């Protein structure tokens, strides 16, 4: 897994976000055991206490649960994973709309532009199939 960090948000929050992405995209499949705090911290190049804090937050959300001796596991509740996926999408959309607001687009214009762009993509895909 590749880890990215920006400068303006707490590191633990960015870890939570990226592990969530890992869970919804199947990088960490439902019911699967997660790597240990130290291994994942070493991989991401972050402080183990920060990784611990991220795990604690994911546990509070219910996406991850720990079994005293066996370690930490991804939830098997697929509805919750689906819900998380939707939540992440909404978050991206809000950020996108904010940027479009800043550029001065009205909602109808944004939607029209989206249609136009995704139409181009479909054409592009059709083209490549030939």
Q: By the criterion CB under 8 A, which residues form the site for another protein?
A: 5, 7-13, 38, 41-42, 44-50, 53
The least distance separating another protein from the CB of residue 108, rounded to whole angstroms, comes to: 33
b/e for 101-128, b at 16 or more Cβ within 10 A?
Answer: eeeeeeeeebeeeeeeeeeeeeeeeeee
Shortest reach from residue 43's CB to another protein, in Å: 8
Q: Which residues contact 20 (CB under 8 A, 6 or more apart)?
A: 58, 63, 84, 88
Q: Nearer Cβ to another protein, position 20 or 53?
A: 53
Of 13 and 113, nearer to another protein (C-beta) is 13
The first and second tokens of residue 55, run together, are 């795990």
> CB 50 → another protein: shortest distance, Å?
7
Q: How far is the CB of 34 from another protein (least distance, A)?
A: 17
The single residue listed with the structure tokens 């920006």 is 6
Torsion of CA 103, 107, 113, 119, to 10 degrees: 150
Residue among 11 and 88 whose Cβ is closer to another protein: 11
- Of residues 71 and 119, the one with the C-beta less far from another protein: 71
DSSP 33: B
């Amino acid at each position: 897994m590749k880890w990215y960090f920006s400068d303006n948000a707490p590191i633990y929050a960015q870890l939570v976000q990226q592990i969530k992405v890992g869970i919804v995209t199947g990088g960490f499949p439902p019911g699967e055991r997660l790597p240990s705090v130290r291994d994942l911290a070493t991989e991401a190049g972050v402080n183990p206490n920060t990784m611990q804090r991220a795990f604690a937050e994911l546990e509070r959300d219910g996406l991850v649960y720990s079994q005293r001796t066996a370690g930490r596991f991804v939830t098997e509740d697929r509805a919750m994973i689906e819900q998380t996926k939707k939540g992440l999408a909404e978050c991206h959309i809000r950020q996108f709309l904010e940027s479009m607001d800043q550029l001065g687009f009205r909602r109808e214009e944004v939607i029209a532009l989206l249609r136009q762009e995704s139409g181009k993509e479909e054409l592009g895909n059709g083209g490549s199939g030939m």
